[in-house]
Chain A
Amino acid sequence: AQTVTQSQPEMSVQEAETVTLSCTYDTSESDYYLFWYKQPPSRQMILVIRQEAYKQQNATENRFSVNFQKAAKSFSLKISDSQLGDAAMYFCAYSPTQGGSEKLVFGKGTKLTVNP
């Protein structure tokens, strides 16, 4: 079974600084998708960034970028120029492309605090 591990229950960063959130996953599949979701106190999950495993180039969305290391099964999220609005729970998620299941498998999350 696929699993996703986030080893940092909590992280903090100073406003305008850079922070990296870690994620590792376990799968025997060769093709899959990886995601980072943000969950503010409102509970609504918001997609931050997505990476397709067959693409070697790391995904980037404005201040958010990933470091995807397929061989190491690592998928970290870097947030640059951190803003107060970035404070939230961040979840790493995996989704297989084979087998017909579109489900997301989530890690336990990392709580990010942004200090002014």
Chain B
Amino acid sequence: GAGVSQTPSNKVTEKGKYVELRCDPISGHTALYWYRQSLGQGPEFLIYFQGTGAADDSGLPNDRFFAVRPEGSVSTLKIQRTERGDSAVYLCASSPQAGQFYEQYFGPGTRLTVT
């Protein structure tokens, strides 16, 4: 079956612009996660959804970052007034249900470059 997909694959934007990154989880997966991976680092947790609600948004770095999952499927990560430090690969993962027993399946990521 289809895995987690993320669009766009690459995004280049100018400092100060607004961007949206999309994640399509595996069909039927109720849990969805966003991570950010800076160059030479491991992924860092941003936010976790269980269904439509954000169950844990403690990893969002500031109020320029926001994520939604209005119908409990597709999720969009939104970044306002982008800064060069936002440049990274943004990874999305989904899981059949919440809980560490269930494997998180990752997408290929969106590489965001802020110039």
Residue ranges of A at the interface with B (Cβ–Cβ < 8 Å): 4, 32-33, 42-47, 50, 52, 91, 93, 95, 97, 100-109
Contact = CB atoms under 8 A, between A and B. Distances in A.
Q: Specify which of B33, B42, B43, B59 lies most central, judged by the most chain A CB atoms within 10 Å of its CB.
A: B42
A4 B45 CA distance: 13
B100 A102 contact: yes
Contact of B42 (A42, A43, A50, A109): A109
A116 to B, nearest CB: 26
Given A101-B48, A102-B100, 6 more contacts: A4-B42, A32-B100, A101-B58, A102-B31, A102-B48, A107-B42
Given A43-B109, A45-B43, A91-B42, A104 B104 contact: yes
B20 interface: no
Interface residues of B, number: 29
A104 B55 contact: no
Interface in B1-19: 3
Given A97-B100, A101-B56, A103-B56, A44 B45 contact: no
Contacts of A33: 100
Contact of A106 (B44, B56, B111): B44
A76 B31 CA distance: 28
A106 B43 CA distance: 6
Contact of A44 (B58, B95, B100, B107): B107
Contacts of B42: 4, 91, 93, 106-109
A109 B39 CA distance: 11
Contact of B56 (A45, A52, A100): A100
Contact of B40 (A32, A93, A95, A108): A108
Interface in B52-89: 55-56, 58-59, 89
Q: Specify which of A42, A44, A97 lies most central, judged by the most chain B CB atoms within 10 Å of its CB.
A: A44
